[in-house]
Structures are given as structure tokens and as C-alpha cells.
Structure 1
């Protein structure tokens, strides 16, 4: 848990940067890994099954192979170094989160980290404290005249010439990444209200934190965040309404999200005709060309910008362009297993149970992340791998709480059946490739 705290809040990087030369995060990672290995055998190596580690290790080999065949030995260190952080976070989470209580503590810790970062960024926005690190100014429109004397606090700027976008630190230093992480943890606020307290007490507990997260999200001015919020919100609502009502809400929510994009995104209205969207479509098209030229291993991990002047701005495109169909299939396979694991928990648990409630909230978080990821190059960020590991852990703890009996019910048998992924993954590969092609053709018509 200390490693997760340091990974997200970055206390050394923020407050004692002179210690970064000593590699404190790496030291903490090694210490955590050694202690975890010491205790892992006691819990049969944790929540993950062999197929999870095969997928994780296989993707690591693909990353190394794609890097080697496209850049030689000199590039292997960079590829392995960047992939090792999310991969080891997945492994450490699976080996440590082996009870429902540990799952809840992990979720609450992640939520705490993001809320602390929200408060920090809001403080910088309103006071000017570390504004150069926590806020990014962008031109509100072309040919705008920026005043020479801007206030120290971005919140005090009334010129309208700049859009001040809140961000955070570390791998959340991009406003879109920060928005994505806020969307991920926001459903977990309902875990705080899931107790024996009265409804008024639960609302008073959750509402201020939700307002804080929502206000910060608004100040990121993330357009992809609008869609991610709508998607995560709909899946949270899905937990409490009937399927027929959910379909109606899905239609209404989609319309509302489309109508609100311009307003919530500030002056950064979303349109496939604007320059940034056009450049994004060009990057997706070049990503498909990279896949056609190197279908098995791609152009090499981290090499997308060697073939295009900007990044893909799509995690799916980035994955198949850099690691080919081999890496893309394994990456999607990990996501498919996570979602199917959560669906299994929901289907096989009593309605309203803790495990069902947690699974529904985590599914909403993953959906929100993936919707944002459609517009961001975040294939290998730690956030995704933490979410995938938590899904594996939740299925494990649910099975542990409901072991097989000599005469199990059909529901119990289904709960303990292996989670099959390969056929669904092949379908997902085909569907996403077609979807990218449709986006490109529609935008260029």
C-alpha cells in the first residue's frame, strides 16, 4: 500500500527532489517485491491464476521482441524499464490483495491518493502555488492577444485569452490523464456510503468528496473525460435500475453527453472537423498503416512517434501499431478477463451483496477508463494494470468466500469455472480494428 501511495502522490518528486538521485521509488519497489515474494507462497501466490501471469509475461516478451527487432539491443532497456512498472504493480496487487477487506483498503487508498491530488491541484489553481507544475495554460482561440500581466493565481485570470487546465504530478501530469484517474475512482465514493449508516449520513459523507472530484474534473477541460464520465455514470446507474430502464437511460445519457461536450469542455468543443481532431484521425490512419506493414510485432514499443509526428491519441491504436497483433491480442485479453471476471461475480453473487456492489463499481471504473483511453495514448499506464489486478482479486475473494461444496448449486459451479478469454478477445480485436477504420472513414468523408 505504501508503494501505491508513493507511485501516485509522488512525495519525493514533489517535496524532496534532491533525493530522486538515490532512486527511492525503485528501492521501495524492490523492498515491496521481496517482502511480497516471502509471503506469497502462504497464499498460493495470490489471486492471479496461471493464465493471468502467462498473459502478463507474454506481453512483456512481445514488448521486448518488438523493441529488439525494430531498435536492436540498445532499446531493450527502455522498453523493459517502462513496462516493468505497470506489470509489477499488477503482480504485487494480485499477490497481496487476497481478502475482501484488503480489496476495500486498496480501493480506498487509490481514492484517497486521487482526492489528495485533486485538493493539491485546486489549491494551486486558486492560489498560484506551484502553478507552473499543476496548471497548463492553453490559447482559448487562434490569434488571441494574451495580456502581459497575468495574475499569479490562474483562477483570478478574467481575460478569457487562456484556458487554464488543471493537472497533477508524475504520470498524471497531463490534464487528460488526471481526468481519467478522477473518473476511475469517483464510483468508489459509493463504497464509503455502503454501510449501515442512515441515508442522510451517507449523503453528507459522499457529497463533498464528489463535488471536489467533479470540480477538479471540470477544470481539466478534458473532452474525453466528458464521455468517460457519462460511460462510468451509466454503468453505476445500471446497478440500480432494470435492464429496460437502463436502455432508456443509455439513450438519454448519450444524447446528454453529446449536447454537453461543448459546455463542459470549455472552449475546447469536440468536433471531427477541428484541427486537433483531424490530426488525431491522421495518427489513427498511420497506426493502421504501421500494423499493415508490421502485422505480427508492430513497429516496436515506444516507436510510434518515429513514424508519425505525434502520438496516437488512442490506446488501442498505439498498442496494435507498436506491438502488432500479437501484443494487441494479449493486452486486450487481460482487459477481457477482467471484465468477464467482474460479470461473473455480479451474476453469481446475491443482489445487493458486498461483492456484487464492489464488482459493479469496479466495472464502471474500467468502462470509464477505456472510454477515455479511446482518445488517449495510455496503453501501459499503472492505473489500468491496477484496475485489471483488482478485478482478478475480486473474483478470487468471492470464490474464497463461497467455496465449492460436495453438491454445489449451478450458480456456485459457474462462479468457480475458468474464465475463458481467447474467443472473446479475437472478437474484440476484430471489432476494435473495424471501429477505428469506421472512425477514420467517417471523419474523412
Structure 2
């Protein structure tokens, strides 16, 4: 039941027929499905079929929601607290469905197959926009004008409805299945790997530097974890160079002197001032642009400014545990070919997470579903029922919270961003 709800929920989140299909336009089916999913999760928890909060990330997710609420209640703004949780609800539901519905290797593989199919759908919409100027539902690409020697040049950037209306978010969605497809390609399973070319082409059409960065980071990380040698680093560097050379035209414009880059640093400085004025709970979710005309263009800075130290603690804590496990275990020697096959799959999960975490350093994507969905997928693969895909021990699942380590990461983030801002302003 939960797996069916998960597949339906994620499919609606990606395809979004209620935003463009005449018969469903404006209907609350996604909201209703979210409520049904919450009830189903609570019933499964009550009957003992799942164990909510068995993962450290479950606790971190709840803490992050509480931080959203407190960011407004600390200023006496009850309506803001309600709106903040309501807007974040798709990420809450999506996280818990992925984390607890994927309780077997078959379901994990099926979910990745579904994600691949959904991103191929998005890639097809990108192709339609590039060829015909419009895709299903009347969605047109974003035309971003740039200055050139001979006048203004319009840059086509494909997109989709809802959370994918921004080409950067559209590009991040396209990147998610890439490490899994590269894993199939490296393992000489070519059929499903044929999905790679259309995804890469659609990613090119987004002209998103953040998405290309996510692609670079995820593929590089996968190759390092896969080969666990200098070979993986070398191949990753070659691919990274090729993507930088042949990637979207906007990649060539990255520099500290670029106007948009300077605007980002200014936004980071403004965010740091917000944090200094409200260091514990922040200025409130969604309030950054009330204090500065641009958003943070950095998800970590956005959380720090809007949710304070408390919100940053839980946000970083969500990704701390699966990444620490990866560092601890993926470089160990395997005992069988089957164990190695599963470990490669987990390496692809972790690579997808690293890619997303790298990209959101330059994008304000602190509350969308994609990062939390990848976090949940990593946890389900690593720590799932029966020890996950690679037999994680009960001791590792039950290990104590590393409050000090996560808190140290927040402090390091604050110091690091402050140094970057001081150097670049």
C-alpha cells in the first residue's frame, strides 16, 4: 500500500496533471493524496508494519519542521508558522514515504526505475520546447536575455510546471537518475543506460550551471566510490573537464567578477547579517527577500538566515548520517560479487546526494522535495529493513546521535561562509 502511494505521489509531483490537464486543472488531488499518505503512514506505524524514527534522519526531519515553526513563532507570527509548514508539506510526505515504503531491494530498484521514467518524461518536454517552442499544457521555455557585442541575445532555458518552473530545479531533477544509469553503464547493462543521452541533452537545454555542477559532482563521486582507486579520480576528472568544455554556454561565464556572482555574494552578506540579528531561530521561513531584494542563492545560507542555528543544525543533520556511513563503509573490501553489486548501487545513491548538496550551495533550494527524497533514498538503501542492500549492522542503526559533530558542521559552515563573503566583497 505504501509503495503504491509513494509511486503515485512522486508521479503526480513530477507530471503535475492538475496544473495543465483540462479535466484535472485546479483539482486538489495532490493535496488529498498527501493527506491519505500521512494517514497510511500513521496506520502502518500503529500496526507495527513500519518503525518511524528508526532512522536518525527521521528525527532530523521532524526537528527541521519544528525549526520552521519556531522561526515564525519566535517573532509572534502564527500565520507564518502555519504557512511555512503547509508549503513544506510535500517534502515532509515525500521524505517519509520514500524512507519507509522502500523496505526491499525490489522496491528500491522499482523506485529508481520510476524516477528514470519520470525524468525521461521531463526530457521529452524539454525536447518539445526546444523544437516547437511549447510542450504539453502550453508550457513555454524561459528566454533569458544576455548582453552581447551585437545586442541582446535570448538564451532558451527549458522548464516544467510547479517546482520545476525554474530551469535550475528542472535540471536538478534530470540529474537524479544519472548516477544509477552510469552504474548500469559501467556494469555493462546497456539497455536502460540508453536513457542517458536524452537526459544529458535535456540538461544541456536547461542552461543551468547548478545542474551541471550537480552532474559533475555526482558522476565524479560515483566513479571514486565505484573504483576506490586513482582510476576513478582520473576518469572523473576527464569527464568533468569535458562537461565544462562542452556544457551549457553559461558555464563559461562563471567568475567572481560576473555581475550575478557579485549579487550572490551580496545576498550571502545580507543573509549573514540576518543570522547575526536572529542567531537562534532566524528571521522566519520565506522572509529572506523581505530583508534583501535577492534570494540567498545558497541553500545553506538561506536556512541559516531564515531558520537560524537550530534550522541549520537539523538541515545538515539530515545528510550527515548517510554520508558518514558512506565514508565509513564503501571503501571496505567486499566478500562476494553480489555484495559488490549492491555496494555499487548504494554508491550511486550517495553520489546523487553529493551532487545535489554541491549544487544547492549555489541555489536557493532548501525546501523543495528533491534533496529530502534523495536523503530518504540513501537511508532506505543503507539502513533499510534487514540491514539495507549491504547488510548494515544493528549497532550502526542504533548508534547514538552525533550532536557534537553536527553542531561542529554548523559552526564550520558559519565560519566558512563568513570568510568567503569577506574575501569576495
Structure 2 length-normalised TM: 0.88
Report how far residue 67 of structure 1 moved. 1.5
Pairwise CA distance, 1:54? 2.6
Find the structure with the greater CA-based Rg.
1
Contact (CA 8 Å) 2:298, 2:364: kept in 1 or not? Answer: yes
Equivalent residue number for residue 140 of structure 1: 146
Closer, same or farther: CA 401–140 of 1 in aligned 2, 3 Å: closer
Partner of 1:441: 422
Could you tell me whether the CA contact under 8 Å between 1:46 and 1:97 is conserved in 2? no
Note the residue ranges of structure 1 that are not aligned, 5 or more in a row: 147-160, 405-410
| Distance (Å, rounded) in 2 between the aligned partners of 1:140 and 1:178 | 21
1:427 match: secondary structure: helix
Three-state SS of the structure 2 residue aligned to 1:240 is helix
Structure 1 residue 19 displacement after superposition: 3.7
> Residue by residue, what CA displacement relative to the aligned partner does 1:266-320 show, whole Å, maximum 9, x if unpaired?
1561111111111011000111111111110111111000110011010000000
Q: CA deviation at 1:396?
A: 2.7
Distance in 1 of aligned mates of 2:247 and 2:182: 24
CA distance in 2, matches of 1:104, 1:421: 30
Alignment partner of 1:15: what SS?
Answer: coil
Q: What is aligned with 2:248?
A: 265
Aligned partner of 1:388 in structure 2 is 375
Establish whether residue 367 from structure 1 lines up as the match of residue 354 from structure 2. yes
- 1:220 Cα offset (Å): 0.9
Change in 2 beyond 3 A, CA 1:419/1:133: farther
Shift of 1:62: 1.3
Indicate if the aligned counterparts of 2:220 and 2:236 stay in contact, CA closer than 8 A. Answer: yes
Match of 2:162 in 1: 170
Deviation of 1:370 (Å):
0.9
Give 2:365's aligned residue. 378
Q: Does 1:218 align with 2:218?
A: no
Give the structure 1 partner of residue 284 of structure 2. 300
Aligned to 1:16: 22
Write the deviation string for residues 96-128 of structure 1: whole angstroms up to 9, x where unpaired. 111111111122212211111111121122122
> Given the superposition, is the C-alpha separation of residues 439 and 263 from structure 1 closer, same or farther in structure 2, using an over 3 Å criterion?
farther
- 2:342 maps to 355
Quote how far apart the aligned CAs of 1:236 are.
Answer: 1.6
> Where do residues 166-245 of structure 1 align in structure 2 (5 Å cutoff)?
166-190=158-182, 199=188, 202-207=189-194, 209-245=195-231
Q: How does 1:42-441 map to 2 (within 5 A)?
A: 42-46=47-51, 48-49=53-54, 51-70=56-75, 72-130=77-135, 133-141=139-147, 145=151, 161-190=153-182, 199=188, 202-207=189-194, 209-248=195-234, 256=241, 261=244, 264-267=247-250, 269-343=253-327, 346=330, 350=335, 352=337, 353=339, 354-397=341-384, 399-400=386-387, 412=393, 415-416=396-397, 418=399, 420-441=401-422
How many equivalent residue pairs?
A: 414
Paired with 1:190 and 1:261, the residues of 2 have a C-alpha distance of 18
Contact 1:345 1:395 (C-alpha < 8 Å) held by counterparts? no
Which 5+ residue runs of structure 2 have no aligned equivalent?
1-6
1:130 deviation in Å?
3.8
Partner of 2:4: none
Matched residue, 1:149: none
